[in-house]
Amino acid sequence: MLRTTRTTAVLLFTAWAVDYIDRQVINLALPSIGDTFGLGHAERGVILSSFFVTYALTQIPAGLVAARFGGARVVCAALVLWSVFTGLTAVAWSFAALVVFRCLFGVAQGLFPAAAIDTLSRRSLPEQRLTANGWIQSSNAVGGLLAAVLGGLLLARWDWRVMFAAVSVLGLLVVVAIRHGLPAPLPAEQTGPTLRQPKGAATALLRSPVVWGFAVMFLAYDVVVWGLNSWSASFLMEERGLAVADAGLVSLAPTLLAAVAAVIGGRLSDRFEGRPRRIVVPAMCVAAGLLVLLPLTTTLAQFVAVGTLVSGAVGLCYMPCFSVPLRSLPPGLTGAASGIILFGGQLSGIIVPTLFGHIVDAFSYRTAFWSLLAGPVLAVAAVLWVPQTSPRFLARLRAVVTDTPKEDDSDTSAAARPA
């Protein structure tokens, strides 16, 4: 991997880890916030989902903004803004105020993902891009773990308001590191195929069913991820008597395995030159079987063991949701395409936390966990529909790319050479 790519990956890894710390500490604080404002499970779910409403709606505009102004500028702006709104969460005086602050926080963080992908695409070779992204996306699990540990320590010593005030500082520190350490972009001829891009090519992606097919795949992936991330801590505290200070410890194995799986998924995607079905179909079938077992566990250790395996299986599917578009498009279009895919995924964040809470109130945690089986089923259906290689993908993006060579799209063709 090029030195420019490695340096960029390290900086974006750090930024994305802070993204997840700021985003996920609320999962640990949710019981305390509920006690402060007298909220039921459904209202707590609204707090979680309010973030995802604006976060999801920002994804597509963020991709277009990154394509227009460059990902690095947008990344820094996003870090500053979401740090401000994380700090404001600490002073929320009512349920309504908390929802408003979480919505604004969602806008700020929504600017970041597509801009980060654009930033890396301008500083990486296509054949190394998914491996680099896999390393960066492993930060999601690391950030989740740090959120659990840091949040648990702060909540055990102080209250949830102090916790939000403390973590708000982290993003500002990362901005300083990026401003001083981010390398210059690579020459354009190294970062992607030389393709004819008509005026308005980025917005033309919005009309492409094939890009939306990858968005559906990411939506399905996030059904499982946000269902487990949003409610596992509350389940263990309410049903198994887990102390809030111990939440970080029980999250250790699932988050570490998810991080490793994201790296492996990215590496395999480069090795297979895309072909996401080779990873998604077996991994999601395993995840479905484990989700059936998860609410049937009778001890804390069993729940953590099964949940860890679910995290690993699903984690393998992260980069395949982006594999073909990121390998096929030049940097000017990867941010826009990623914004569409990310938008699909974040719809799960809007729907799943609130729906999960309603199912818990109406039925039980067991039924709510089983409802997450919709994710693997939809993921398999989507991956069987989308094109598996760059030539097939580009051929279906007639508004953006033309005159691409043909290649065998059979999943039984010889494995691609390692990148």
Q: Which of 138, 320, 327, 133 is nearest to 214 (CA)?
A: 320
Residue-averaged pLDDT of the chain: 80
pLDDT attached to residue 300: 80
The average pLDDT across 143-153 equals 74
CA dihedral 133, 137, 139, 141 (to 10 degrees): -150
Amino acid letter, residue 96: A
Q: Residue 365 pLDDT > 90, yes or no? A: no
pLDDT attached to residue 204: 72
Lowest-confidence region among 12-16, 85-89, 402-406, 415-419 = 415-419
If one counts every other C-beta atom within 10 angstroms of the C-beta of residue 323, the result is 32
Q: How far is CA 287 from CA 135, 261, 376, 388, in A?
A: 22, 13, 7, 22
Lowest-confidence region among 72-81, 106-115, 164-173, 380-389 = 164-173
In this prediction, residue 2 has a pLDDT band, given cuts at 50, 70 and 90, of confident
Q: Residue 243 pLDDT > 70, yes or no? A: no
Q: Residue 22 pLDDT > 90, yes or no? A: no
pLDDT attached to residue 13: 92
Q: Where are the beta strands (DSSP E) in 84-187?
A: none
8 A C-beta contact, residue 101 and residue 89: yes
Q: Residue 309 pLDDT > 90, yes or no? A: yes
- Out of 29-33, 208-212, 351-355, the most confident range is 208-212
Selected residue with higher pLDDT from 68 and 109: 109
Residue 230 to residue 251: CA distance in whole angstroms: 12
Selected residue with higher pLDDT from 230 and 308: 308
pLDDT attached to residue 390: 82
Residue 262 to residue 138: CA distance in whole angstroms: 5
The average pLDDT across 121-148 equals 78
Look-up of token digits 């420019």: 4
If one counts every other C-beta atom within 10 angstroms of the C-beta of residue 209, the result is 10
Q: Where are the beta strands (DSSP E) in 104-244?
A: none
In this prediction, residue 407 has a pLDDT band, given cuts at 50, 70 and 90, of very low
The average pLDDT across 87-99 equals 84
Amino acid letter, residue 333: L
Q: Is 402 left (phi over 0), alpha (psi -120 to 50) or beta?
A: beta
Q: Could you tell me the pTM of the whole model?
A: 0.72
Lowest-confidence region among 66-70, 135-139, 202-206, 412-416 = 412-416
- Out of 27-36, 133-142, 216-225, the most confident range is 216-225
pLDDT attached to residue 244: 62
The average pLDDT across 72-92 equals 87
Q: Residue 403 pLDDT > 70, yes or no? A: no
pLDDT attached to residue 220: 93
Q: Residue 26 pLDDT > 90, yes or no? A: no
